[in-house]
Amino acid sequence: MTLKIATWNVNSIAARLPIATQWLESLTPETRPDVIGMQEIKCVDEKFPASEFEKLGYKSVIFGQPTYNGLATLVRDELAGSLEVLQKNLPDDQEDAQRRLLAVKVAGVTVINVYVPNGQSVGSAKYDYKLDWLARLRQYLDNMFVPTEKLTIIGDFNVAPEPIDVYDPKVWEGKILFSEPERQAINVLQSWGLNDSYRKLNPALQEFSWWDYRAAGFRRNLGLRIDLIMATDPLLATCQAVTIDKEPRTWERPSDHTPVIAAFDIG
């Protein structure tokens, strides 16, 4: 079977529900994702519109937070029987910590949905928190998983891994989302046994997944590729395609991010 996994920072599901449902309705049953990781839902669990996605054939696993952060992972009804919720937040997080990680297992594949801290500005306390969070994510992998299993980490990483992932590397060099320590933290994460699936399948293609609302960023294509689908070697070996769907970014009142979708032939 082909397992299609998508990631999308919706930047408030309350504001983006019309676009999210429009996107799913615009896809054929064959092209709709089987699993959708949403970030920045910005609502408590009870306020997430699970019933609207249920109408479209999805079960929702929600890990919400009012106003900021929050995640939801949607799984198609046909696969809901194989769904297992593994983890909400990193194991050493306090109970009131920001909602940034939601791990599930579906169809034998571990799907870890993350919203990595933005970091605000290089050298700030929030920047240090971001680097520490990424280091703790690596520790979580070390403690709980092995790279020989089929596992993917999807989400808004708030880091552009390589110069090709930035519209102007000279402008962004040393700045938040593209500083050397952030990129090194991504390298450390990948060294556990993860691959940037989009870049592996599209080594020379420059596309972006985020564009600033300001300064006509989308129209001028002043973007970054910060929404990633990382996969272990066994899962990457089954990867057929990874695409960035820019269409929802053209619609009225869009998120500043757009969906990224990977297709895996998991047998």
Show me where the domains of the chain are located.
2-265
Is it the case that residue 85 has pLDDT exceeding 90?
yes
pLDDT of residue 154: 99
Q: What single-letter DSSP state applies at residue 91?
A: T
> Stretch 197-216: mean pLDDT, rounded?
98
Which residues form the catalytic set? 115, 156
pLDDT digits (tens, 9 = 90+) for 94-149: 988 999 999 999 999 999 999 999 999 999 999 999 999 999 999 999 999 999 99
pLDDT of residue 96: 87
> Stretch 180-203: mean pLDDT, rounded?
99
> Stretch 3-10: mean pLDDT, rounded?
99
User: Following DSSP, what letter does each residue of 178-229 receive, concatenated?
Assistant: T-HHHHHHHHHHHTTTEEEHHHHH-TT----SEE-TGGGTTTTT-EE--EEE
Is it the case that residue 215 has pLDDT exceeding 90?
yes
CB 38 within 8 A of CB 8: yes
Structure token digits, residue 200:
């592996």
Burial class of residue 162, CB neighbours in 10 A (0-12, 13-18, 19+): middle
Give me the architecture of the 2-265 domain, per CATH: 4-Layer Sandwich (3.60)
Instruction: Please give the Cα distance from 82 to 183 (Å, whole number).
Output: 35
Q: With bands split at pLDDT 50, 70 and 90, how would you rate the model's confidence at 165?
A: very high
**What pTM value is reported for the model?**
0.98
R_g over Cα of the chain:
17
